[in-house]
């Protein structure tokens, strides 16, 4: 069995303990000058031999106390234990609009391409976020369940287009309902749903947004729309939808302001086991057990002081 010291620098404190031990030995061997001029039968009356022995015993106890305390502080260990590695992580379910309106080119080159750029930016700046993706038009389908490595979504996003959707239209409620189902199946807490859309909320969108909030999730919205008179009504409706969902509304910006606002609006963190890292091995500190040996020494020290 090999002893490992977790805090080995504490062992340097044994150096003054060594000097202290040397002083005790030297002082105990030093002859009293009265022995040279006093008869032996009178010397016992003059010297308090018992008191000197008691002092040497007291100093010896202090020495053992000091050595054991230093040994405990140095963290002696002879056994390793395995502990799983956890990390804080956000959970966000993306809900992407794939209706024909996303191909409108009022955002260059068109709304869908800019939405994909925003998703990539979001993934790049959310390394501690597990993400899933739901796409919707007239119906909704799961493009990816929640994955701890959000980078896996980048390849999926590139392939999404309204032409692959089986049913045309734009039913936000379908997308939100599918996102809620996935979040419940994943059993995650304090998660967010990010709706990326240019469409006006349908009748069932309000019910779905309310259901998300009641389930403990947060609905954030990124509107892929320019700010003008033609889009004013849709923007107003989406703002109200985000309010009902307990989240924030963000209008598309050419820079990264919208993504920064979304990142700040994440509802909270949860702790998950890091699947990419093996369980960590830690030396088990046995120092506290050695501290128990100090208890009888303290009792002896107190006894000597009170005698």
Lowest mean pLDDT among 20-29, 139-148, 169-178: 20-29
- Claim to verify: residue 65 and residue 91 sit in the same structural domain: no
Contact (Cβ atoms closer than 8 angstroms) between residue 91 and residue 192: yes
User: What does the mean pLDDT of the chain come to?
Assistant: 83
- Claim to verify: residue 255 and residue 149 sit in the same structural domain: yes
Give the C-alpha separation, 108 to 162, whole Å: 17
Q: What token pair was written down for 101? A: 């309106």
pLDDT average, residue stretch 286-303: 81
pLDDT average, residue stretch 181-206: 91
- Claim to verify: residue 10 and residue 100 sit in the same structural domain: no
Q: What are the start-end ranges of the H helices in the chain?
A: 14-29, 40-46, 49-73, 111-124, 152-158, 172-186, 203-214, 232-244, 257-264, 287-291, 294-306
* Domains of the chain: total: 2
pLDDT at residue 58, rounded to an integer:
75
pLDDT at residue 302, rounded to an integer:
74
- Claim to verify: residue 162 and residue 243 sit in the same structural domain: yes
- Answer yes or no: pTM beyond 0.75: no
Give the C-alpha separation, 65 to 97, whole Å: 72
| CATH number of the domain bearing residue 92 | 3.40.50.410
**CA-based diameter of the chain, in Å?**
120
- Claim to verify: residue 142 and residue 254 sit in the same structural domain: yes
- Claim to verify: residue 136 and residue 250 sit in the same structural domain: yes
pLDDT in tens, 104-159: 999 999 999 999 999 999 998 887 778 999 999 999 999 999 887 778 888 899 99
pLDDT in tens, 261-293: 998 876 455 555 555 545 556 778 888 888 888
pLDDT average, residue stretch 56-64: 76
CA atoms within 13 A on the CB side of 227: 7
How is residue 149 annotated by DSSP? -
- Claim to verify: residue 125 and residue 217 sit in the same structural domain: yes
- Claim to verify: residue 208 and residue 229 sit in the same structural domain: yes
- Domain of 119 in residue numbering reads as 86-273
- Claim to verify: residue 103 and residue 186 sit in the same structural domain: yes
Q: Quick one: how far is CA 14 from the chain centroid?
A: 38
- Claim to verify: residue 229 and residue 97 sit in the same structural domain: yes
- Claim to verify: residue 70 and residue 181 sit in the same structural domain: no
Question: In Å, what is the CA distance from 290 to each residue of 57, 287, 302?
Answer: 22, 5, 20
Of 23, 97, 11, which Cα lies nearest the Cα of 55? 23
- Claim to verify: residue 130 and residue 267 sit in the same structural domain: yes
């Amino acid at each position: 069995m090999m002893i490992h010291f977790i805090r080995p620098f504490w062992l340097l404190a044994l150096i003054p303990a060594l000097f202290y031990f040397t002083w005790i030995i030297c002082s105990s061997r030093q002859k009293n000058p009265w022995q040279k001029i006093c008869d032996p039968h009178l010397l016992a009356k003059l010297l308090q031999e018992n008191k000197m022995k008691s002092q040497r015993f007291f100093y010896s106890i202090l020495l053992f106390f000091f050595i054991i305390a230093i040994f405990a502080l140095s963290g002696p260990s002879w056994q390793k234990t395995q502990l799983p590695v956890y990390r804080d992580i956000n959970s966000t379910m993306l809900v992407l609009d794939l209706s024909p309106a996303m191909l409108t080119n009022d955002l260059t080159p068109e709304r869908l391409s800019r939405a994909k750029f925003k998703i990539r930016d979001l993934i790049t700046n959310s390394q501690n976020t597990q993400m899933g993706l739901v796409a919707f038009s007239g119906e909704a389908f799961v493009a990816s369940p929640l994955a701890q490595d959000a980078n896996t979504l980048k390849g999926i996003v590139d392939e999404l287009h309204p032409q692959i959707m089986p049913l045309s239209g734009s039913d936000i409620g379908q997308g939100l309902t599918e996102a809620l189902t996935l979040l419940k199946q994943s059993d995650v807490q304090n998660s967010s749903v990010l709706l990326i859309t240019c469409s006006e909320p349908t009748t069932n969108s309000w019910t779905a947004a309310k259901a998300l909030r009641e389930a403990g999730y947060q609905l954030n919205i990124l509107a892929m729309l320019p700010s003008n008179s033609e889009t004013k009504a849709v923007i107003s409706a989406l703002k109200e939808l985000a309010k009902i969902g307990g989240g924030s509304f963000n209008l598309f910006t050419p820079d990264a302001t919208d993504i920064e606002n979304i990142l700040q609006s994440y509802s909270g963190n949860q702790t998950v086991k890091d699947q990419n890292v093996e369980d960590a091995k830690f030396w088990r500190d046995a120092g506290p057990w050695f501290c128990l040996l100090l208890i009888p020494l303290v009792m002896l020290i107190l006894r000597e002081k009170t005698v």
